[in-house]
Structure 1
Amino acid sequence: MRIVDVNEYYSPTGGGVRTYLDRKMGILADLGHELIVIAPGFEDAVEDRPGGGRIYWVKAPRLPFDRSYGLYWDGAPITRLLDTIDPDVVEVSSPWRPAWIVGDWQGRALKIFFAHNDNVSAYAGRWLEDVADTATVERWCGWYTRYMGRFLAKFDAFVTNGADLARRHARRGLTVDAAMPLGIDRGDFSPDLRDEALRTALLAQCDLPPEGKLLLGVGRHHPEKRWPTIIDAVERAGERMPVGLMLLGYGVDHQKLAKRVADSPHIRLFRPVYDRARFARIMASADALIHGSDAEPFGLVALEAVASGLPLIVPDQGGAFEIAEPQFAETYAARDAASAAAAIQRMFAREPAILRAGVLTAAGKVLSDRDHAIALVDYYRGLIDGKAGVAAVA
């Protein structure tokens, strides 16, 4: 099977989407399939991947606030590539120009809109949270659901990256054909990577002794991640216990966050760790992952944490909440620093041996990205066969 992903979020400089798709390319190649990505680049170019797969970079205007990413406008270069490649399946995840470009393309391929995020929750819900409740914001954004319905009518299936996002769209009146949860590279993450000497060294960087508690936060410095809430919560909890926070990430809010934590004795900002082996050792060596985003529809970082044997402290909304089981997680009211601080205190008041046993059991059940790829291909094969059967009858 040849799959093309027309992806506006695949960046030349890295990021979560690129990590997901690069890994997916290799897995599909191992399974005898081909994944090709059409992505906005600085220039037109073609890049073959050693493990299988290919990137077609299409020159596109850059985002004014983040030049790592581009925006498609002219559909002709994309449709020409689709005509040449002649895929079996075309995926697209951007609801803007790419959805219409692919939706209007007249090739033979199965057309899939694969939703990986929720613009209503991530943007409108966040921007308007101080002036209206969630139900009101959802009602105000009914135009966006109707807009999605118009381009979704051009696709063979609407797929989401998990149950949480599927439920959100279903509540709005859209038909979701399948929820296909993502997986992680299980080979990267393991509880066996826990290193007490590394943990002690990381606590020392937070100016805490070995008996302190080390929280890990991972993600872009972006308002959607709600790091100020997490910082407030850690400071509140720190008034009652020795707890520190390592925040790995970078982004548009970096300077604001750096200024915010400048006087915090036990909170430190660190750039992202791109070395997967080192990152996995850090994750396995912390005491809990703390997460702030209630808009993310799938908790990929939370899955990596559980696979590393790391308990979770997460909001009671969003993709990370879908993963959080009572035996290894504490939840708090989304966007509420006091509630998050209480969750931190509850986590570290638990019996360590029982908590560790719970998360180790969960670690062995985390879905792998290979499992995800196999399930996705099987789903596409069923749709293709069904489409062919309908055509034969006609």
Structure 2
Amino acid sequence: MRVALLAESFLPHMNGVTGSVLHVLRHLSEAGHETLVIAPKSGDVTADLHGARTELLRSVPLPSYPEVRVVFARAARLGALLRDFDPDVVHLASPFVLGWQGLAAADALRIPTVAVYQTDVVAYAQKYGLPQATALVEGHVTRLHRRATLTLAPSSASMRQLESLGVDRLRRWGRGVDATRFAPTHRDDAWRAEVAPNGERIVGYVGRLAPEKQVDDLRALADLPNTRLVIVGDGPARSSLREAIPDAVFTGHLSGDTLARVMAGFDVFVHPGESETFGQTIQEALASGVPVVATGVGGPLDLVRSSVDGWLYRPGDLDDLRARVSDLVGDDAKRQAFARAARESIAGRTWSALTKDLVGHYREARELRAIDDNLLVRGARRPAAAVASRTRGRWTRFVALGDSLTEGLCDQSRMPSGEYRGWADRLAELLAGTSEDGPFRYANLAVRSRRVRHLIDEQVPAALAMKPDLVSILIGANDLVGPHPVIPAIVAEVESAVRAVRRTGADVLLVTTFLPHRLAARLFARRFSTYNVELRRIAAEQGAILLDLEAVAELGELPLWADDLVHLRSAGHRLVAYRAAEALGVPDARALLGLDEALHADDEPARGGWVTRDALPWVWRRVRGRTAGDGLSAKHSGYVELPTRGDRERARTS
């Protein structure tokens, strides 16, 4: 099996996500699977990646937490990487920013996705005091995991959390532990004597030093008699913690055998975080034969057996935390009994066993993706929208809305001088050609230079009057290249248009915007990407059919663009038409594209004079407040009838 892993964080920054990815890479390699890692680049990677290919992308650090890197990769870039590797499944490790774009790219290629829920970013937003962002983050997490083919949650608490958000297709998949590296035999008496020279009991914590981990709660243990507090880790809260708990031992970040030796040297392990989806360091402490005191919420509920191998204290009750730790450090017999039970509890939790389960989930995702694709062709869709819809694939009245791209500007293939064809015309012919029943009616209300306000004021009302059962919407580029576009306002208007059409029971083919691969286009890439993220949300929430052209990497290649550098030539329109047909379930659409290209190779000659022919007239119109579409009307303002396959078959037999 070929597995592409998209990791929201990666080496050299080590955390739970990175550690899990490394273990999965190792055991997938040992089982004979091929892997590709797509992740943020933040430094040199010297670790053994077990034969995995890597694509480390340019990233930026979070201002308040520079160890965390964020990748703003375009879906088209990720789509190109995935197409080149040709994976059987895409594994999204703790997806959020990179994972969302990777999900879009995988969807465009119809590759199954397995999203591994590992970070409770909703709780993190709350911990960082961002109440307005919390609802946005929660909505994003919901949309992402509902869109994934399958979601793996590490604990019963995270399963319940995702279920409450309406996420379906949930499976339980925990984390493995290296029971050889983390073991009681690594206890180092010399280290213990150095840290606690007077024989104090060592109470330890291992993890990121950040507000969401609630490490500040360890102050409740600072003056516990006959104990020494050891804090292992690094992060933005380290300096404030050193001031708050000056007598604690701060080791900084530890890993490998050094971490295992220190972990085994603890007498009690404490984990105060209330936002853990799992708690890998808890599991490593148990493997090391160390009793655990953890908050009784989230991931720890599945790992710590209270009164057997540790204690679960009441969340937020620091007096209870102190009492539970005091109980164990003050009773040697109980602590030793808990320690034996702790080691026994991790039997069967090896990474080898967990990776075998993971491959089983990969196979299930492939089966589910095939079902989803079949449902799409037959007219169903996941998730189901709470609006009426006709049986998809049986459309007879198609109306195209938009600007010059949908009008077909620069697609002069087999058209009289001054007339254009375009992807929507080509799509209408494909749909009519697969229809058994006639007549098939088509209208194209798109006009060059139109903006979203024209969609609302002119095109949607005209389309609804025609009672279509399929409407395509590709618009927004003219708004986005203008000065200071207010993207939320543009999005709100598009959403209202989609909602208006869907209320009639008609289907909507919602198309993302896209750019050519040229330097000047990079100025607008962030705007287009932000807008497209919202279009994907609208499609999911309104039950629209998404044609994600931003994720089609080859569409940015310059040979597909006309000499004016802003419109598609015939080959580009052909590609869009067949991708749209594929999204609508036209059988063998991709194979038909190859045949069409072979039979209709472009013979359009390249023309010079771009500055005088295209650029200067555009600037002059802008200065005068005019557009190229002023005074123009739609080329098909009313329905035209196209012959269907049924028409042709009846003609042959008559």
Alignment TM class, shorter chain as reference: 0.7 to 0.9
State the Cα deviation string for residues 180-217 of structure 1 (Å, max 9, x = none). 0011112211112223343222212xxxx11x211011
Instruction: Answer yes or no: is the 8 Å Cα contact 1:100–1:151 preserved in 2.
Output: no
Partner of residue 332 from structure 1, selected from 289, 309, 313: 313
Contact 1:225 1:293 in 2 (8 A): yes
Question: For residue 134 of structure 1, what is the aligned residue in structure 2?
Answer: none
Question: How far apart, in 1, do the equivalents of 2:146 and 2:230 lie?
Answer: 45
Contact 2:187 2:261 in 1 (8 A): yes
Equivalents in 2 of 1:384, 1:147: separation in Å?
A: 24
What's the counterpart of residue 402 of structure 2?
A: none
Q: With structure 2 as the length reference, what TM-score do the two structures score?
A: 0.53
Taking the TM superposition and a 5 Å limit, the aligned residue runs for 1:211-230 are 212-230=200-218
317, 322, 326: which one aligns with 2:297 = 317
Which of 115, 120, 123 is the matching residue for 1:121? 123
The answer (yes or no) to whether the contact 2:292–2:311 under 8 Å persists in 1 is yes
Shift, 1:141, TM fit: 5.1
The Cα offsets for residues 196-240 of structure 1, whole Å up to 9 and x where unpaired, read as 343222212xxxx11x2110111111011112211x22125x2xx
| Residue pair 1:5, 1:37 contacting (<8 A) in 2 also | yes
Relative distance call for 1:111 and 1:390 in structure 2 (3 A) is: closer
Match of 2:222 in 1: 235
Give yes or no for contact 1:195–1:284 (8 Å, CA) kept in 2.
Answer: yes
Structure 1 residue corresponding to 2:259, chosen from 268, 279, 297: 279
Contact persistence 2:211–2:237 (CA under 8 A) = yes
CA 154–168 in structure 1, closer or farther in 2 if over 3 Å, else same: closer
Tell me the SS of whatever aligns to 1:6: strand
Alignment pair present for 1:81 and 2:57: no
Query: Aligned residue pairs: how many?
Result: 370
Aligned CA distance change for structure 1 residues 390 and 77 (closer, same or farther; 3 Å): closer
| Mapped pair 1:200 → 2:193 | yes
- Structure 1 alignment gaps of length 5 or more: 129-136
Q: Do the aligned partners of 1:307 and 1:363 also contact (CA within 8 Å) in 2?
A: yes
Letter in 1 for 2:104: G
C-alpha contact 1:47 1:54 (8 A) present in aligned 2:
no
Deviates more, 1:118-127 or 1:373-382: 118-127
How far, CA to CA, are the matches of 1:63 and 1:55 in structure 2?
23
Native 8 Å contact 1:298 1:320 kept in 2: yes
Tell me if the contact between 1:103 and 1:154 (Cα under 8 Å) persists in the aligned partners: no
1:46–1:57 Cα contact (<8 Å) kept: no
Corresponding residue for residue 132 of structure 1: none
Q: Deviations over 1:152-176 (max 9, x none)?
A: 3432112222222111122333325
Q: What is the identity, as a one-letter code, of the residue corresponding to 2:165?
A: R
- Find out whether 1:248 has 2:227 as its counterpart: no
Shift of 1:296: 1.2
CA contact (8 A) 1:313 1:343 kept: yes
Which shifted more, 295-304 or 171-180?
Answer: 171-180
Residue in structure 1 matched with residue 418 of structure 2 by the alignment = none
Q: Which residues in structure 2 correspond to 1:1-394 (within 5 Å)?
A: 1-42=1-42, 49=48, 51-75=50-74, 76-92=76-92, 93-105=94-106, 106-124=108-126, 127=129, 144-204=137-197, 209-210=198-199, 212-230=200-218, 232-236=219-223, 238=224, 241-262=225-246, 264=247, 267-274=248-255, 276-325=256-305, 326-350=307-331, 352-366=332-346, 367-385=349-367, 387-388=369-370
Greater CA radius of gyration, 1 or 2? 2
- Partner of 1:56, secondary structure, is strand
- Contact 1:40/1:69 (CA < 8 Å) preserved in 2? no
CA distance in 2: counterparts of 1:335 and 1:315, whole angstroms = 8
Structure 1 residues 195, 80: closer, same or farther in 2, change over 3 A? same
In the TM superposition, residue 97 of structure 1 has moved relative to its aligned partner by 4.9
User: In structure 2, do the counterparts of structure 1 residues 170 and 214 end up closer, same or farther at CA, with 3 Å as the change threshold?
Assistant: same
Letter in 1 for 2:51: G
Q: Distance in 1 between matches of 2:277 and 2:185?
A: 29
How far does residue 49 in structure 1 lie from its aligned partner after superposition? 4.3
Tell me by how many angstroms 1:375 deviates.
0.7
Distance in 1 of aligned mates of 2:152 and 2:172: 6
TM-score normalized with structure 1 length:
0.85
Shift of 1:15: 3.1
Question: Separation in 2 of the partners of 1:284 and 1:151?
Answer: 39
Q: Is the contact between residue 268 and residue 325 of structure 2 (CA under 8 Å) also seen in structure 1?
A: no
| Mean Cα deviation higher: 117-126 or 287-296 | 117-126
Higher relative contact order (CA 8 A, sep 6+): 1
SS of residue paired to 1:364: helix
SS in 2 for 1:36: strand
Question: Helix, strand or coil: the match of 2:209?
Answer: coil
Q: Specify whether residues 389 and 16 from structure 1 end up closer, same or farther in structure 2 by C-alpha distance, changes over 3 A only.
A: closer
1:237-273 residue CA offsets vs partner (Å, 9 max, x unmatched) = x2xx2111010111111111122223x3xx2111122
How far is 1:310 from its partner?
Answer: 0.2
Distance 2:17 2:141 in 1: 22
Gaps of at least 5 residues in structure 2 are 379-654
How much does 1:376 deviate?
0.7
